[in-house]
Amino acid sequence: MRRRRRSLVVTMLLGAWLYSGVASAQQTSLARSDRDATSSVPAEVLVVLAKEEEGKIDPQLKKLTALRRPPFNSFRSMKILSKPKLTLTPGKDEIVSLPNGRRLKLTLLRVMPDGRYKVRAAINRPNKSDYLPLLQVVASAGDPFFVAGQSYQGGTLVVGVTVDPQKTSK
Amino acid sequence: MESAKADEKLQMFFDGELSPQEEAELRRELEGSTENMAELRQWEQMREAMHGAAAEWTAKLDSDALFARIEAEVSAPELPSEVERAPVELRVVPGGRERRIWGGLATGFAAAAAIFLAVLAWPEEPGTTPLQMARGTEVVAVDFGANAGTVFEVEGGAGQPLAVIWIDDEEMGMP
């Protein structure tokens, strides 16, 4: 009887410990989510010049299988022009200069409840709004979105933006 | 019958078991009986002989060694014989079963808790959970301005949808 009572107490203590562990993990997760919503996030912009002429596909782009699918599959050559890395801070604009003189403006708006990032983008010449006045995208970490169609040097600019906390901004 | 009672009373007198009054009466009777007095003297001689033998035996006895041996045997762990072990094991069986039951319950509880925590902490497979369904990128608002544009969705390497915003553009002739 005494041994049974002791086993019961041990079982209850074990259950309490496990419950406190789960509760602690949930609180930690919530705390991390709140913290992420106010912290900076690394991002990377990929500027590619794509042409329909036969040519080389930059080896670094082979892992981006999306660039081999429509509407990109008409391009026969792709060259990386720049790959700037930056840090997105909520509410603060980050500017990336494009080779055609336009500027890409990126702003981290917020972190969604599912962990994705809501990002605002605009592409224009300085003090003008002649190309892409406004774009809002929700992106999960590591997954890019593309803005394409600008003509440049006989080809088309394909701009990919990836928000990825795992990447180190420079 | 009278003789038997007389012998018994004489024996009780010899052992000092008579009351003072009975003892006084018997002493008066024994003064006139040489036969009983002789018998009493024999008993006394026998008793003295027995006491002497006992005293001689106890004098030779090493009482310290005897008590040490007794204490050693008392304090030594009990080693039941083979015959005695079987019933002892049978008496232990219920306790052992109880330990096994509670040990099994505790182990089962711990295993269930471990599975529960593992399910909570397990990384989700692509496309199997709402979190994974939220992967990829999607356009929530777009303003093409004066240009014509199209929003595409292209499949990523993990099958996730990736947003493509395509805007028609004139040759700007910029460097």
Q: What confidence tens digit (pLDDT) does each residue in A63-85 have?
A: 899 999 999 999 999 999 999 99
Domain match, A25 and A67 both = no
B132, B147, B169, B170: which to substitute to probe chain A, counting the most A Cβ within 10 Å? B169
Q: Is residue B173 situated within a structural domain?
A: no
What is the model's pLDDT at position B19? 84
Check if A129 contacts B (Cβ < 8 Å): yes
| Nearest CB partner across the interface for B143, out of A7, A10, A134 | A134
Q: 3-state SS string over chain B? A: CHHHHHHHHHHHHHCCCCCHHHHHHHHHHHCCCHHHHHHHHHHHHHHHHHHHHHHHHHHHCCHHHHHHHHHHHHHCCCCCCHHHHHHHHHHHHHHHHHHHHHHHHHHHHHHHHHHHHHHHHCCCCCCCCHHHHCCCEEEEEEECCCCCEEEEEEECCCCCEEEEEEECCCCCCCC
Domain match, A56 and A125 both = yes
Domain match, B41 and B89 both = no
CB A118 within 8 A of CB A112: yes
Instruction: Tell me what ipTM this predicted complex has.
Output: 0.77
Domain match, B35 and B66 both = yes
Q: Is residue B11 situated within a structural domain?
A: yes
Which pLDDT band, with edges at 50, 70 and 90, does A30 fall under? very low
Picking from B16-20, B109-113, B170-174, which range would have the lowest pLDDT averaged per residue? B170-174
Q: Is residue A168 situated within a structural domain?
A: no
Range of the domain at A68: 40-163
Domain match, B94 and B66 both = no
Domain match, A89 and A7 both = no
What is the model's pLDDT at position B34? 83
Mean pLDDT of B60-66: 73
Which pLDDT band, with edges at 50, 70 and 90, does A97 fall under? very high
- In order of A46, B103, B145, B156, B167, the CA distances from A97 in angstroms are 12, 68, 20, 26, 18
What is the model's pLDDT at position B174? 43
**Spatial separation of the C-alpha atoms in residues B112 and B118, rounded to whole Å:** 10
Domain match, B84 and B56 both = no
Which tokens is A65 given? 């299988």
Domain match, B69 and B90 both = no
Mean pLDDT of B148-157: 92
Mean pLDDT of A88-102: 94
B154 with A72: Cβ contact below 8 A: yes
Domain match, A20 and A78 both = no
**Spatial separation of the C-alpha atoms in residues A110 and A128, rounded to whole Å:** 26
Check if B162 contacts A (Cβ < 8 Å): yes
B-chain CB neighbours of A131 within 8 Å are: 145, 147, 167, 169
Domain match, B116 and B143 both = no
Q: Is residue A146 situated within a structural domain?
A: yes
The tally of domains found in chain A comes to 2
Mean pLDDT of A93-121: 93
Domain match, A18 and A58 both = no
Mean pLDDT of A18-29: 44
Domain match, B25 and B86 both = no
Q: Is residue A169 situated within a structural domain?
A: no
Which pLDDT band, with edges at 50, 70 and 90, does A117 fall under? very high
Picking from A107-116, B17-26, B68-77, B95-104, which range would have the lowest pLDDT averaged per residue? B95-104
Q: Is residue A81 situated within a structural domain?
A: yes
| Nearest CB partner across the interface for B156, out of A21, A66, A138 | A66
Domain match, A27 and A45 both = no
The tally of domains found in chain B comes to 3
Q: Is residue B40 situated within a structural domain?
A: yes
What is the model's pLDDT at position A144? 96
Check if A138 contacts B (Cβ < 8 Å): yes
Domain match, A70 and A142 both = yes
Q: Is residue A170 situated within a structural domain?
A: no
Mean pLDDT of B23-50: 84
Domain match, A103 and A158 both = yes
Range of the domain at B163: 130-167
Interface of B with A in 97-136 (CB under 8 A): 98-99, 102, 105-106, 109-110, 113, 116-117, 120-121, 130-131, 134-136
CA distance A170 to chain B (A): 24
| Nearest CB partner across the interface for B144, out of A100, A115, A132 | A132
Domain match, A44 and A18 both = no
More confident: B85 or A118: A118
A-chain CB neighbours of B136 within 8 Å are: 139-140, 143
Q: Is residue A23 situated within a structural domain?
A: yes
Domain match, A46 and A7 both = no
Q: Is residue B172 situated within a structural domain?
A: no
For residue A134, the SS3 value is strand
CB A131 within 8 A of CB B123: no
Check if B143 contacts A (Cβ < 8 Å): yes
- In chain B, which residue's Cα lies nearest the Cα of A123? B144
Interface of A with B in 41-80 (CB under 8 A): 63-66, 69-72
Domain match, A16 and A78 both = no
Q: Is residue A137 situated within a structural domain?
A: yes
What is the model's pLDDT at position B40? 83
Mean pLDDT of A33-59: 84
**Spatial separation of the C-alpha atoms in residues A95 and A97, rounded to whole Å:** 7
Edge-first strand listing for the sheet containing B137-143: A93-97, A103-111, A117-124, A132-139, B137-143
The DSSP symbol for A83 reads -
Whether the pLDDT of residue A92 is over 90: the answer is: yes
pTM over 0.80: no
Please report the number of interchain residue pairs, chain A to chain B, with beta-carbon separation below 8 angstroms: 150
Q: Please state, rounded to an integer, the average pLDDT across all residues of chain B.
A: 73
Domain match, A33 and A58 both = no
